[in-house]
């Protein structure tokens, strides 16, 4: 793990991952090639403190550009890919589903093909499954590919895929492409599926930053439906540490669920933010629920804990307070 291609590295989780990776003492010789198309979800400002780091190379580009990918693999001798690049906002996927399938499915397939072609020891031999030593492709996915849960139970890696939105369907399609490249071509891959992330640099359209920024500005806080949708919250830096564990010790071909162990109803999160900022609950405004809105997600992360020794370390209440404080510092 020396020359790491991080796609979508100007996004929320991607930029935190780049920063986290470059801070690790056992990665002090790693070089990060950060490819991001800087769409609405990407913000180069999230990388401001890393743009002068000689071990971080930022490139604006699209993961569907096969010529660009081939050139990057060749120029930087890429040995690791961590694919964060994706259209990610469910509401936007309802308005414009085609863009989600183009980027999330076809973009992922372009990355897989570039990795296969560069890493394969005998690229002209279609039956060969031998690759350069130490290479790894990690696909960053979501628990939303599993659909919705009832009041009890948790998603495991064996849960069937049952996506309910164009976004989650496109991510499920990408996951299946990754699986196919492992089964057919022997490409050393892993898939990680995480619960809802929160923390610094998250896009303002997402629930927690939207609530915090509206609350600071004394604007109404929109809550879908009755607000009783349940999500498992994972701090972004816990997510980053889990991905590194998979990169270092994950078994090729395996899927690892990454959860925060912090299930909360959306309305409870809203009220916590109001309390942190000393604002009245009269700011809450209930709005019509969105189509295909899953009622509950919950992740069973027993597998990654058992096999790789990872578990989240950040308490949700403390992490949320820290996130509110960070937003106040930027207001």
Backbone angles phi, psi at 59, to 5 degrees: -135, 125
Contacts of 40 (CB under 8 A, 6+ apart): 89, 92, 203
Question: Active site residue: 167, 181, 201, 256, which one?
Answer: 167
Question: In this structure, what token pair is assigned to residue 234?
Answer: 């994972």
Pick from 296, 299, 298, 304: nearest CA to 255? 304
- Which of 36, 62, 87, 143 is the catalytic position? 143
Going across the sheet that includes 31-36, the strands are 56-60, 31-36, 3-7, 80-83, 136-142, 189-194, 255-258
167 is catalytic: yes
Q: Which residue has the tokens 């372009």?
A: 110
Catalytic residue among 36, 62, 79, 144: 144
Is residue 143 part of the annotated active site? The answer reads yes
User: 91 an active-site residue?
Assistant: no
Residue in 248, 243, 272 with CA at minimum distance from that of residue 258: 243
Question: Other CB atoms closer than 10 Å to residue 126's CB: what's the count?
Answer: 9
Q: Helix, strand, coil shares of the chain as percentages rounded to 5?
A: 45, 20, 35
Tell me the C-alpha to C-alpha distance, in Å, between residue 105 and each of 14, 16, 32, 128: 18, 23, 24, 25
Answer positive or negative: Cα dihedral of 248, 250, 252, 256: negative
Q: Which residues contact 253 (CB under 8 A, 6 or more apart)?
A: 179, 182, 183, 188, 189, 190
3 state DSSP class of 147: coil
Residues 6+ apart with CB under 8 A from 169: 101, 163
- Positions marked active-site: 143-144, 167
């Amino acid at each position: 793990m020396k020359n790491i291609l991080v796609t979508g590295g100007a996004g929320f989780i991607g930029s935190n991952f780049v920063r986290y990776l470059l801070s690790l003492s056992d990665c002090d010789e790693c070089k990060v090639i950060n490819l991001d198309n800087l769409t609405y979800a990407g913000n180069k400002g999230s990388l401001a403190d890393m743009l002068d780091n000689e071990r971080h190379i930022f490139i604006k580009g699209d993961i569907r550009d096969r010529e660009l990918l081939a050139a990057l693999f060749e120029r930087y001798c890429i040995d690791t890919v961590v694919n964060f690049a994706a259209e990610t906002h469910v509401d936007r996927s309802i308005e414009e589903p085609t863009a989600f399938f183009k980027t999330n499915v076809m973009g992922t397939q372009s990355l897989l093909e570039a990795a296969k072609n560069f890493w394969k020891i005998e690229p002209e031999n279609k039956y060969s499954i031998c690759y350069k030593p130490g290479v790894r492709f990690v696909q960053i996915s979501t628990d939303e590919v599993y659909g919705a849960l009832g009041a009890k139970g948790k998603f495991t890696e064996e849960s069937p895929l049952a996506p309910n939105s164009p976004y989650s369907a496109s991510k499920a399609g990408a996951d299946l492409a990754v699986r196919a490249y492992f089964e057919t071509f022997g490409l050393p891959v892993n898939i990680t599926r995480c619960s809802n992330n929160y923390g610094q640099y998250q896009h303002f359209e997402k629930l927690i930053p939207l609530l915090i920024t509206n609350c600071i500005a004394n604007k109404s806080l929109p809550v879908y439906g009755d607000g009783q949708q349940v999500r498992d919250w994972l701090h972004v830096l816990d997510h980053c540490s889990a991905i590194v564990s998979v990169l270092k010790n994950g078994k090729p071909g395996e899927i690892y669920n990454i959860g925060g162990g912090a299930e909360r109803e959306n309305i409870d999160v809203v009220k916590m933010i109001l309390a942190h900022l000393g604002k009245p609950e009269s700011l809450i405004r209930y709005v019509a629920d969105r189509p295909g809105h899953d009622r509950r997600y919950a992740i069973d992360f027993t597998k990654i804990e058992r096999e790789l020794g990872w578990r989240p370390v950040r308490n949700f209440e403390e992490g949320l307070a820290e996130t509110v404080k960070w937003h106040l510092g930027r207001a």
